Structure 1
């Protein structure tokens, strides 16, 4: 990439919008948005096409906020958006569930006269559907002069997302053209409302119409079969996948493992697991859950190495199998000869943190020779997810930095607490007297007898000092 850029500069075409647009597109396709931004920042007069490619690129790499910020910069620069600008921006709003920002964009679209563009309209109805405003979505749909299958599918997704499957079915039956996405959406809709029998009926009808399922269809159908526990139907779908040479990757493999496990055939599930070339955490998750349900957790001990153990511990964490995960972690060195690494400690901290066992997690953090700050950060992150207002995690981070002798970082955390108005929660104790609970905070004087209490404490303190000096 840098060589291409250097060649462009040497040939003095680095200000050519067409050339730079191609380079920026290549940067984003290579998942290098930082380099794309540096290239863009050197352009003195970016045109609309280049701005659009920056916005499109950020959406492509899931940096949705950046896409919206560049749109604001585009307007500030004085460059005029066109009908190709807004579908990407609306997609960004859909992914962020940014309803208010989406309505502002809708206003811009109306003002600039792009409301009749089929791609813009489809993006609008998808936005409103994603944000749960199905009425606004339908209004956009009804006003479309041209409705292609993509627009109809977006409307179907909007209905099924909120459980309005009967309305979706009516729209589905009226569609002049239906593709694999249309059928999959209807199958998914019935699975969502727990009508798996109807989901399989739609799948069979799809077969009769000669529409070939894709991976997403297969995954959705397997979910319906899992709910019903229909092993024979599951085997038929598995055979279909093999006959059509559909790749059994991490996603399809996980669904097959889950289906066989729930249908009572754990050996078939293991057979699928063993044949997956690149197993994801989800694969381990499904396999461990299957063994746990069948009371056969010990079988997963076959062929474990340090990389496998990371997958196993992560899967236990995501499945909530705390005891099983801790058992594997505890036996790593003794039974498998695997020396725990910082990644394994991170997994076990995540496992315990998800289960709310912060004291146990902290014991591991303090007892290991691994990077204590890194593990502490993981524990703090887990606490934050469960309780964003928890001041203890900030104090924890500060203390961990202090243990490592990183005094500037520790002070930085304390300053951050002060700037954000986060204060350490005071210690609390309580006592029950005559069926009444009295609660006390450190430094608190709100109790009606606080003066008498503090006076008595002072008296006791003086007596203790006299006793200790004897």
Structure 2
């Protein structure tokens, strides 16, 4: 009888395809007592299913119901934590299990190091590296790869290289990790030397190197490497195509961008949303907003990134009035296509949308409309204006001759109106908000504020933002040096280094 129950339970485990199936299996295991017995055939396999279908909290609760968890079960939960939004808990869980007598193996440490890398936890990662050595698994290839990835992700490229050089055996993951590490710290010459020395390359390596050139504001080298890849018979994947098309956009190489587009049309019947959006951006940046619009109109289901690409294409690189009309169509389409009972599913404008809209108003000198949109940001959509929005409004006011008001809006920018740190697109938008004017007005205001209150960090940040918007990087450096000499410390959560990284590539716009 017990044997038939066990066989039935195993059949259930093999047939699990959804969360509903999993709950039914769990009920069966609880009723039959199979979850509590020391039988890895049930508990381990069920726990793995939980990690695939449930959140980490549920997986952790199930683990605690297992009376005799083995190494595989513990490793499963560590991996689940590492892949969750609370990766630090993987380390906490690991040390809790050690107190219970857990004996780790080589499979324990790859997800553990990945968890530390995810949040840049140097101390925890080095502590776990000590555990690697203590448990004698420091020579295992997968563990060494995880260590290279960890140190590279934390910017400790010297330690990553030390682990890499000490490996008796290396695979493509090892090489990709060390190349990516040098790319992340901006040492592209060394990264390229390692890339060229790779005995075997896959698409990940090509994409890493091309991304490095793209992010270092060198789209020409990125495209040269892309051409080399194609000549070697590699077609690339969606990531490769997005990198190549973005490089064409940043360097205004429409001929090459059209060539890539042509290949896509031949190879794919339908382009996915990400690639279509990248093409919209490329054609807009090259001054062909009408082609971008054709691509935009063919997209059946549009998200806010897609709408922003086309709105910004018009507002910044094309006809601003067309951009404002498209924004109006965007708002109208939301009302027409969605009933009142589906408000939560609406695609709403975001802060990037309003940078485009305010840029368009500034270019056209539409003061009334600009004021309305600026007010609607917070009143209608709950969007807190950032420096970029205030900068656009100051330009608009100055363009229509309201210099005093332009001065006041820059003087009164809230101290917490920082640029977001997650999107390189902001660099292009902020750079495009110059409208051909110099920055003397903003510079004078910021310097006057610094003279009045020389210890105020936010006044220096305003000046750095203004210089960054104009691509005046020498002045950015000098302002930072001025702060250093005066002992001005940054406010927690705001870094001038991060700010420069945000707007690094705008000088090419």
Instruction: Give TM-score scaled by structure 1 length.
Output: 0.68
For the 8 Å contact 1:20–1:39, the answer to whether it is kept is no
Out of 18, 21, 27, which is 1:6 matched to? 27
Residues 311 and 184 of structure 1, relative CA distance in 2, 3 Å threshold: same
Residues of 2 paired with 1:216 and 1:347: CA distance?
A: 36
1:83 maps to which residue? 106
1:305 maps to which residue? 334
For the 8 Å contact 1:179–1:211, the answer to whether it is kept is no
Out of 184, 189, 201, which is 2:207 matched to? 184
1:194 maps to which residue? 217
Residues 269 and 328 of structure 1, relative CA distance in 2, 3 Å threshold: farther
Higher relative contact order (CA 8 A, sep 6+): 2
Residues 174 and 55 of structure 1, relative CA distance in 2, 3 Å threshold: same
For the 8 Å contact 1:28–1:61, the answer to whether it is kept is no
Residues of 2 paired with 1:80 and 1:126: CA distance?
A: 24
1:162 maps to which residue? 185
Residues of 1 paired with 2:309 and 2:104: CA distance?
A: 47
Matched, 1:144 2:167: yes
2:266 maps to which residue? 243
1:57 maps to which residue? 80
For the 8 Å contact 1:48–1:79, the answer to whether it is kept is yes
Residues 173 and 355 of structure 1, relative CA distance in 2, 3 Å threshold: closer
Residues of 2 paired with 1:198 and 1:22: CA distance?
A: 48
Secondary structure of the corresponding residue to residue 233 of structure 2: coil
Q: Which string of whole-angstrom CA distances, capped at 9 and with x for unpartnered residues, describes residues 129-172 of structure 1?
A: 11111111110100011111111001110111122111111111
> 1:24 offset after TM fit, Å?
2.5
Out of 1, 18, 22, which is 2:45 matched to? 22
Residues of 2 paired with 1:330 and 1:82: CA distance?
A: 62
- The size of the alignment, in residue pairs, is 354
Residues 148 and 267 of structure 1, relative CA distance in 2, 3 Å threshold: same
2:281 maps to which residue? 258
Residues 315 and 272 of structure 1, relative CA distance in 2, 3 Å threshold: farther
- 1:272-311 correspondence to structure 2 within 5 Å: 272-293=295-316, 294=318, 295=320, 296-300=322-326, 301-302=328-329, 304-306=333-335, 310-311=346-347
> 1:50 offset after TM fit, Å?
0.4
Residues of 2 paired with 1:385 and 1:78: CA distance?
A: 50
Secondary structure of the corresponding residue to residue 199 of structure 2: coil
Residues of 1 paired with 2:207 and 2:29: CA distance?
A: 46
2:382 maps to which residue? 349
For the 8 Å contact 2:354–2:389, the answer to whether it is kept is no
Out of 184, 207, 231, which is 2:254 matched to? 231
Residues of 1 paired with 2:269 and 2:387: CA distance?
A: 36
Residues of 2 paired with 1:53 and 1:385: CA distance?
A: 42
For the 8 Å contact 2:175–2:198, the answer to whether it is kept is yes
For the 8 Å contact 2:164–2:174, the answer to whether it is kept is yes
Structure 2: tracts of 5 or more residues without a match = 1-21, 362-367, 391-413, 420-451, 454-509
For the 8 Å contact 2:141–2:170, the answer to whether it is kept is yes
